[in-house]
Amino acid sequence: MMNKRGTSHADWAISLGIFLLYILSMLMLIQPGVQPFYKEGELLSIVTENYRDSTSFAFYKTLIVIDTTDMNFTPGTSEYLVTLNAETGAAFPFSGDPNDYAVTDRNMASLDNFYIAHGWDVIRFKAPITDTPDNKFYIISNKLADGTSKPYLDRGDASSGLEISNSDIAPHTPNFTLTIGSTEVLQGVSEDLLKKDADLLGLYCLDANLGQAERKYGAIKRRWGFPTSKDFMILYADTASAMYNPEDAPVGNIHPVCRNALPYEQANVVVEEWAARIVDEFGNTVPIRMVARVW
C-alpha cells in the first residue's frame, strides 16, 4: 500500500514539473508586457536624417562675363538683345530642362526677358551692356529634395531688339568675348518643403482637426519606419542662435513642423539642433535653427 502511495506521489511530482516547464517555456516565448528596446540615438538619427533629406534645397549660380573692350561695340542704347552662342559643335556646360534655369543681372535680380535653347547651344536675354570688361550676369537653377526644381515662371520676350553676339554666326558680327565661370552651390532648406503637407508626402502634420493631425503623424512614422510606441517632434526656430525662445511663434521663435504631443513627465528626451538657412529660388537666405526631439 505504501509503495502504491509513493508511486502516485512521484507521478504527481513529475506531472507538476512537466506542467511548470511548459508554463515557463511559454512565458519565455511570449514575454507578456515586454516592449522592444530602442536606442534613443538611433531613433534620433532616423528623425534628423529624414528631416534634413526631406527639406533640402540646392541653389546653383554660374557667372558669365561679357567683355566688350577691343571689340566692334559702341554703346548706343541702354539695353541690348544679348545672344550667347556655344562653340561650334559644342554646348554650354549646363544640363537638364532649360525651363528650370533663369538669367539674372550682377545683383542677382532676375531678368524678365530671356531664352535658353533646349540644345544648350544658345542663351539669349535683354540687358544693359556697357563698354567694359566685366558686364556680369548669372545663370541660375535650383533643386528640391525630390529632384524637382522650383520654377522660374516669367521668361518674357527675348526675340527682338538691338542684337549683339559673341560669335560670327550669320548675320552677327562679334561684339564681345564671353567667359563662363565655375558654378557655385548654396545648400539650404526649402521653406515650401517645411510647409508641405504630410498628405502630399511632406512633413507638415499639424491640423486643426486633431484626428487628422494624429493620422498624418502616424503616416510619417510608417513612412520613416519609426516605432509606434515612441514619439518625436520636428520644428525650427526663426534664428540660427541656440539662445532662442522655445515657445511657439509669435510669442517665441518656434515654428512646429510635425508633432503629436509634448513629452510626458519623466520622459527621456534626446535632442539634436543645428544652424541652417532657408534658401529661395534666387539664392536669398534666411538663418534658422532646425530642431528634432525624440522620446
Strands 122-127 vs 177-189: parallel, antiparallel or unpaired = unpaired
Can you tell me the distance from the alpha carbon of 267 to that of 174, in angstroms, rounded to the nearest whole number? 72
Can you tell me the distance from the alpha carbon of 167 to that of 290, in angstroms, rounded to the nearest whole number? 49
In the chain, the DSSP E strands lie at: 56-67, 80-85, 101-105, 114-116, 122-127, 135-144, 163-165, 177-189, 232-237, 254-259, 270-279, 285-294
- Per DSSP, the three-state class of 85 is strand
Can you tell me the distance from the alpha carbon of 21 to that of 27, in angstroms, rounded to the nearest whole number? 10
Q: What is the pLDDT of residue 26?
A: 66
Cell numbers standing for residue 104: 539674372
Residue with cell 535650383: 142
Q: What is the pLDDT of residue 34?
A: 46
- Max intra-chain CA distance, the chain: 132
Can you tell me the distance from the alpha carbon of 83 to that of 172, in angstroms, rounded to the nearest whole number? 9
Q: What is the pLDDT of residue 23?
A: 72
Can you tell me the distance from the alpha carbon of 9 to that of 21, in angstroms, rounded to the nearest whole number? 18
pTM for the complete prediction? 0.81
pLDDT in tens, the chain (295 residues): 455 555 666 676 677 777 777 777 666 665 555 455 578 899 999 999 999 999 999 999 999 999 999 898 888 888 999 999 998 888 999 999 999 999 999 999 999 899 999 999 999 999 999 999 999 999 999 999 999 999 998 888 888 889 999 998 877 889 999 999 999 999 999 999 999 999 999 999 999 999 999 999 999 999 999 999 999 999 999 999 999 999 999 999 999 999 998 999 889 999 999 999 999 999 999 999 999 999 9
